[in-house]
Chain A
Amino acid sequence: MYKPNDLIFRTTTSLIAFILLGFSIYLLLAGHNSPGGGFIGGLMTSAAIILMYMAYGSDILRKILPVNYRMLIPTGLLIAAGTGIGSFLFQQPFLSHTYNHFHLPVFGDLELATAMLFDFGVYFTVLGVTVTIILSIAEDR
């Protein structure tokens, strides 16, 4: 998979990977009002990571992104379950969501929903799952 003479691939990857990462963050954040969401966002991010892995190999990937992807799975699950449990603090049933509008200095009028937090959980879990599966199969030689 890792060949010494793939200059074009590596150069384009360094561009495309950032575009992919940005697009995936967009998908994650825009999910509430337009197509997208945690699931597809997570998949897109992992696509970017896999692309980097294919271009540079696992050693360099670990240097660029020193993340333990396996740990993302429980982290994401904890966030998702935590938003559910959080509703208990407000005497609400499990996984009740709410939203409100805020005025922030830079962004102006902004709608923030607790469902967004849940989506972050989904995002991290999916990201962790996909990268773990593909990397462990790919590295199994």
Chain B
Amino acid sequence: MIFTVLIPLLLACFVPFISKFKHKIHTGTVIFFIPLAIFFYFIQFIGSGFEPIRHTYSWIPSLGINFDFYLDGLSLLFVLLISGIGALVVLYSVYYLDRSEPLGHFYVYLLMFMSAMLGVVLSDNVFVLYTFWELTSISSFLLIGYWHFKEKSRYGALKSMIITIFGGLSMFGGFALLSVISGTTSIQTMIANADVILDNPYMPLALGFILLGAFTKSAQFPFHIWLPDAMEAPTPVSAYLHSATMVKAGLYLVARFSMIFGSYEWFFIIVSIAGIVTLCWASYMAVHQTDLKAILAFSTISQLGMIMAMLGFGTKAAVFAAVFHILNHATFKGSLFMVAGTVDHETGTRDIRKLGGLLTFMPITATLALFGTFSMAGIPLPFLNGFYSKELFFESTLDLEGGASGIAGFLIDVIPYLAVFGSIFTFVYALYFLFGTFGGKTQLDKLVKKPHEAPIGMLVSPGILVLGVILIGLFPSAVNGTFIAHAAEAVYGEPITKDVHFWHGWDSPAFQMSLVVVGLGALLVTTRRKWNGIYQVFPGKLSVNKVYDTIMGKLNAYSRTITTFYMSGSLRNYMAIILSTILVVTVGFMLATDGFTIDFGNLAPITFIELTVVLIIIASAIGTIFAKKNLAVILIVGVAGYGVSLLFLIYRAPDLALTQLVVETVSVALFLLCFYHLPDLKRLHAPLSTRTTNLIISVGFGALMTLVGISAHSSSWFETISDYFIETSKPIGGGSNIVNVILVDMRGLDTLFEITVLGIAALAIYTLIKFKTDKGGK
């Protein structure tokens, strides 16, 4: 099974070689056979006696991350959708994309996506699932931005990337939690141990994270905003990714994990609310759109919401209806996208206000659209599969189980009404789409090209999908027993047998709801112009897009503000930040651990001469602060340096005193050498507050260092090792100057690197001076 998942990815490597010959043969015609082969490989598993299949290939066994592939009814449904619609989309794209386009890129991305999607639905290992999940996000990003010279494409691609990766990462968190809780990375083992997971206090957190991932991917409210913008992608991509496959990955995830979380009440509440709100909001908004693909995008969102709601209900009827509608939606929505693409391709516009009356020019396309839209609207005709799943949806809203009180109880009462509301608008936009494009008057002057019927190759793929719509509509039980029942069983856990047939009788409540939908919907369609003004009132200026744009804009603005605040470019500020951080952290740590110990017990007596030298040093240190001229500062620093050298002498360190004397002289001389080049000493004309802060920080830092020094002296933990040096200097080192023996013999390595430091400094100074370039930096 690993080969079927990875074959598209492997063959994608050869696409550049094929597309070299694209002037002779369209790349897509070669690619076409890949999804077709996968489709025919998986179609053999269809049948009433199907049992789940499992294959394992090691990847990272030490972390429990392996390519575990698991094919059950649900995976099979998705795999067939991915490969089947994939093949049709590739066929469609052969006629849709011109050979002057970068075809190699397109098919590489598409095959990458196909591989990723197959991996998502077949993986049994959560981390492998996550890997493929992110690969779908990335390839979808590449496909949306396919026409990257268009600004809107880039905007849409970025938006979808940010939102889906945001969800993907939170999903990863959920998976990590789940695998820690259950101690396994396999989904099937988790399902088997569902009670352990449900008892864990962290379970709601894991559920929330996973649902966030599913909602962002499946464009649930309020994360639906990326989908309409993703319509900037080429139409085959929209048909494939954004109607039939990728957006259903979230549904797949919820369906897969409903075996674990299904019995938890909040799962029902969250998923149902998200689904039903999405259904109503998106179907309401779809009527307001003017772009054909935007209508379809909102329609996709609302249908996904409907399926999500049914998965949330979790009853037998609902699960069956959800799985059934996944299949139905993929057939009619795929065909509708292709129809929209054909119209765009043949007229040069997708704006529904410019279109109209195309029936006479494009009769075949119009017929295909008719079946697609009627099926989407759920019109009660016995040859449209959309009607069956809508009917089942109504049925499932009516027989909800669960707590009769609280939020759940309220939901159970409200959901049927909301379902009818959403379906009415579904009916409205479906017919609006159909009649706005193909009905009414032709406005030839507004069209870019003169419309004509599409080439036959462009009609094959939507034709096959519409054929699927009709065949499932005529023989629902044919797919039911062999196919849908297995998928529903994989979601629900027990075999679900449901008899799908057209006529339930006048007294069936679901049928009455359908009649209400058709009646009210027809009324609303005919009077659409009169009530269209309601969109000015609600949502009016409210939009989730605006929230997104504001968040992104503010994020940029705030991070820039913060960065410019602390990355001021002024070394003085950085110094203040560094010193005050050290001050706060050290003082806090010392106070918390009671680290300051002040003990004056073992101090030596102070002599008069020490006191004099120290006073001179202090005086010169203060002098440097208040001196007004550069020269004065240099000289006073020299005084301090000679004072230190005197201290060394008093404390019987002749080597140090000598070195300090000469080094101080050299550095004063260097200062004087640079004296002419130095700018005038600028007094800090900072406001009083800055100067006060500087004063506080410097005095505080000095006080801290004093305290630390005193504490370090007050508490000696170990005996000094200097006795060893004194004893062994002569016998081992062969010299009586202990300092020098330590420097060159006992710890010669330090000295070796210190002289290396000196050498590097000298070479650096030499380079800086001798190899000056012009200001241009040549």
Task: Give the distance in Å from the alpha carbon of A82 to the alpha carbon of B655 in the complex.
Answer: 25
Tell me whether B765 is interfacial, beta carbon within 8 Å.
yes
Interface residue ranges of A92-111 to B (CB < 8 Å): 94-95, 97-99, 111
**A133 & B670 in contact (Cβ 8 Å cutoff):** yes
**Which of B741, B751, B758, B769 meets A137, CB within 8 Å?**
B769
- Interface 0/1 of B651-663, CB less than 8 Å to A: 0001100110011
**A80 & B735 in contact (Cβ 8 Å cutoff):** no
Interface residue ranges of A1-56 to B (CB < 8 Å): 27, 31-40, 43-44, 47, 50
Tell me whether A58 is interfacial, beta carbon within 8 Å.
no
Interface residue ranges of B738-766 to A (CB < 8 Å): 739-741, 743-745, 748-749, 751-752, 755-756, 758-759, 761-763, 765-766
In the assembled complex, how far is the CB of residue A29 from the closest CB belonging to chain B, in whole angstroms?
A: 12
**A136 & B744 in contact (Cβ 8 Å cutoff):** no
- Interface 0/1 of A86-129, CB less than 8 Å to B: 00000000110111000000000001010100110110011011
**A118 & B737 in contact (Cβ 8 Å cutoff):** no
**A136 & B769 in contact (Cβ 8 Å cutoff):** yes
In the assembled complex, how far is the CB of residue A59 from the closest CB belonging to chain B, in whole angstroms?
A: 18
**Which of A35, A111, A137 meets B673, CB within 8 Å?**
A137
**B758 & A129 in contact (Cβ 8 Å cutoff):** yes
Contacts of B769 in A (CB 8 A): 136-137, 140
**B745 & A115 in contact (Cβ 8 Å cutoff):** yes
**A35 & B658 in contact (Cβ 8 Å cutoff):** yes
**B762 & A32 in contact (Cβ 8 Å cutoff):** no
**Which of B654, B736, B770 meets A136, CB within 8 Å?**
B770
**A40 & B658 in contact (Cβ 8 Å cutoff):** yes
**B734 & A47 in contact (Cβ 8 Å cutoff):** no
Q: Count residues of chain B with CB under 8 A from any CB of chain A.
A: 38
Contacts of A38 in B (CB 8 A): 744
In the complex with contacts A121-B755, A122-B751, A137-B674, A73-B736 CB distance below 8 A: no
Contacts of A73 in B (CB 8 A): 758-759, 762-763
Task: Give the distance in Å from the alpha carbon of A95 to the alpha carbon of B733 in the complex.
Answer: 12
In the complex with contacts A38-B744, A115-B745, A43-B666 CB distance below 8 A: yes
How many residues of A sit at the interface, in one of the four size bands?
35 or more
Task: Give the distance in Å from the alpha carbon of A47 to the alpha carbon of B655 in the complex.
Answer: 17
Tell me whether A74 is interfacial, beta carbon within 8 Å.
yes
- Interface 0/1 of B708-748, CB less than 8 Å to A: 00000000000000000000000001111101110111001
**A97 & B745 in contact (Cβ 8 Å cutoff):** yes
In the assembled complex, how far is the CB of residue B743 from the closest CB belonging to chain A, in whole angstroms?
A: 7
**A33 & B737 in contact (Cβ 8 Å cutoff):** yes
Interface residue ranges of B658-702 to A (CB < 8 Å): 658-659, 662-663, 665-666, 669-670, 673-674
**A115 & B744 in contact (Cβ 8 Å cutoff):** yes
In the assembled complex, how far is the CB of residue B664 from the closest CB belonging to chain A, in whole angstroms?
A: 11
Task: Give the distance in Å from the alpha carbon of A97 to the alpha carbon of B745 in the complex.
Answer: 6
**A37 & B743 in contact (Cβ 8 Å cutoff):** yes
**B740 & A43 in contact (Cβ 8 Å cutoff):** no
In the assembled complex, how far is the CB of residue A31 from the closest CB belonging to chain B, in whole angstroms?
A: 5
Task: Give the distance in Å from the alpha carbon of A95 to the alpha carbon of B744 in the complex.
Answer: 9
**B737 & A129 in contact (Cβ 8 Å cutoff):** no
In the assembled complex, how far is the CB of residue B741 from the closest CB belonging to chain A, in whole angstroms?
A: 7
**A95 & B737 in contact (Cβ 8 Å cutoff):** no
Task: Give the distance in Å from the alpha carbon of A97 to the alpha carbon of B755 in the complex.
Answer: 18
In the assembled complex, how far is the CB of residue A35 from the closest CB belonging to chain B, in whole angstroms?
A: 4
CB nearest neighbor in A for B736 = A33
| Most central of A39, A70, A118, A130 by chain B CB within 10 Å | A39
* Extra 11 A-B pairs, beta carbons < 8 Å, given A35-B655, A118-B752: A32-B734, A32-B735, A33-B735, A36-B737, A37-B655, A37-B744, A115-B735, A118-B745, A122-B744, A128-B759, A136-B770
Binding site for A on B (CB under 8 A): 654-655, 658-659, 662-663, 665-666, 669-670, 673-674, 733-737, 739-741, 743-745, 748-749, 751-752, 755-756, 758-759, 761-763, 765-766, 769-770
Binding site for B on A (CB under 8 A): 27, 31-40, 43-44, 47, 50, 70, 73-74, 76-77, 80-81, 84, 94-95, 97-99, 111, 113, 115, 118-119, 121-122, 125-126, 128-130, 132-134, 136-138, 140
